Amino acid sequence: MNNDRWQIHRYLAQTADERLQILKAAPQHILLSGADGDLSRGLLAARYPKAAFSEYDPRPEFLQAAAAARKSGFLAKLAGKSVPQHCQSLASPPPEASADMLWSNLGLITEADPLPVFQAWAHALKTDGLLFFTHFGRDTLAELTGRLNALGHEARRPALIDMHDLGDMLADSGFYDPVTDTAALRLEYRSADTFWQDMDTLGLWRALDFADPAAARAAVDEMWRRGELAHITLETVYGHAVKKKHLPEGESEVLFFPRNQKGGA
């Protein structure tokens, strides 16, 4: 692997962006939930040049990296100069019904429980607004966690959830027609430094809950010294759903249709 910090984010963003080809309506406001070096915004701005953007992430350094990428060239600066940023947990609701598309490229990894995030996303989307996200599934890092478990370093992985459970959470959070699918992404490494860089950028090491994180990290370094860890596999999850209409408790929608009248106006 090369030393591109954002290459996995880029791959997932490009793959998810290809799925937008079937959409006919162009969103006016796209909420980015999770910063990824400005990769997603760049792709979406090219597809929807009139869209406005806002960006949310609890990691200030990720927001800074996205802002810096938007200043890397004259055209990029013009395109990204009006992207307001908000440093807050993704579970903290953005303004209600403020966006007609919400896009999250690996943002969910910052939260141990996706359910409050889905609820916040539903809060932020307009009725029939579109949600697109990427995440990591339960089988991510299976080679690594299997070896660590055998050494007594058992990891809890609350943020890594089965795609079917993610679909159920979406349905329970105010979305309809949730669709999730997975793919395996095998990463091969030549150095431990690149591996740890990816673990940091992807948020995966922080998503593994060890009783003794330092001891677990030392065990991984020892695997590298012994040549036991040349590759890992990520289970990537792609999901999309539509925000359904929310009615106050106890109320239901009533629709009236004109009666067909034969032979008359």
- Give the separation between CA 84 and CA 59, rounded to whole angstroms: 15
Structural domains in the chain, CATH included, are 7-138+159-184+235-243 (3.40.50.150)
Q: How far is CA 186 from the centre of its chain?
A: 19
Longest dimension (CA), the chain: 87
pLDDT, one tens digit per residue, over 189-206 is 988 999 999 999 999 999
Tell me the one-letter amino acid at 9.
H
Mean per-residue pLDDT for 237-244?
95
Give the whole-number percent of the chain exceeding pLDDT 70: 88
pLDDT, one tens digit per residue, over 31-78 is 999 999 999 999 999 999 999 999 999 999 999 999 999 987 555 555
What pTM, to 2 d.p., does this model score?
A: 0.88
With cut-offs at 50, 70 and 90, classify the pLDDT of residue 158.
confident
Report which of 116, 153, 114, 118 is spatially closest to residue 137, judged by C-alpha positions: 114
Retrieve residue 219's tokens.
């065990």
Tell me the one-letter amino acid at 166.
L
Mean pLDDT for all residues in the chain: 89
User: DSSP assignment of 150-184, as one string?
Assistant: HTT--EE-TT---HHHHHHHHHHTTEEEEEEEEEE
